[in-house]
Amino acid sequence: MINLILFGPPGSGKGTQAAKLVEKYHLLHISTGDLFRYEMGNDTPLGKKAKSYIEKGELVPDEVTVGMLRNKVEANPDAAGFIFDGFPRTIPQAEALDELMAEKGSRISALLMLDVPDEELVKRLLERGKTSGRKDDTDESIIRNRIEVYKSETAPVFDYYQAKDKAEKVYGLGSIEEIFERLCNRIDALVA
């Protein structure tokens, strides 16, 4: 079973690459954004809890997010593995994910970080903003702030997995196919 964390700042190409990796390796893509939309849209108990925090402009507590992840993992016992996208964002979330995987008799195989320079991230997000409908993709100052928040709050998760010898940077510039090939080379080395 391959369990990957696809990691990187906003605009690094995680969503694009996750879709291609899912297809090639038959993994289940778990995006926290999708989980939130599903749980809230279906008015589940966890969705109602999440909504109550979001409506107050507060962050959803880790236990709610981890509960959603647990539901998704448990609903797919026959999955060949998982790609986690948008999670974990903090070290406590990484620890909770490791615990969840251990409970299921599994583990995180690797965290693969798409390494992209800040100026390229800004360029990509502004371009995406022309068609995404996301307001936060159209304002350069908001984009730069998102990148800084990623560096201060989320980037330490890379160090957490690197200390376990499970984190690798993957050069995130080039064509979609070139980046995909680099990711596949790393994944193939894991299962060899």
The rounded Cα 116 to chain-centroid distance in angstroms is 15
Measured over all CA atoms, what is the biggest interatomic distance in the chain, rounded to whole angstroms? 48
Per-residue pLDDT reduced to its tens digit, 8-48: 999 999 989 999 999 999 999 998 888 888 898 999 999 99
Label the pairing between strands 81-85 and 110-115. unpaired
Q: What is the pLDDT of residue 68?
A: 93
The CA–CA distances, whole Å, from 81 to 8, 12, 134, 141 equal 20, 22, 30, 37
* CATH code, domain carrying 104: 3.40.50.300
Tell me the average pLDDT of the chain. 92
Q: Domain count of the chain?
A: 1
Q: Which domain holds residue 70?
A: 2-191
The encoded tokens of residue 134 equal 């996301």
Collapsing DSSP to helix, strand or coil, 85 comes out as strand
Catalytic positions, written as ranges: 14, 89, 128, 134, 146
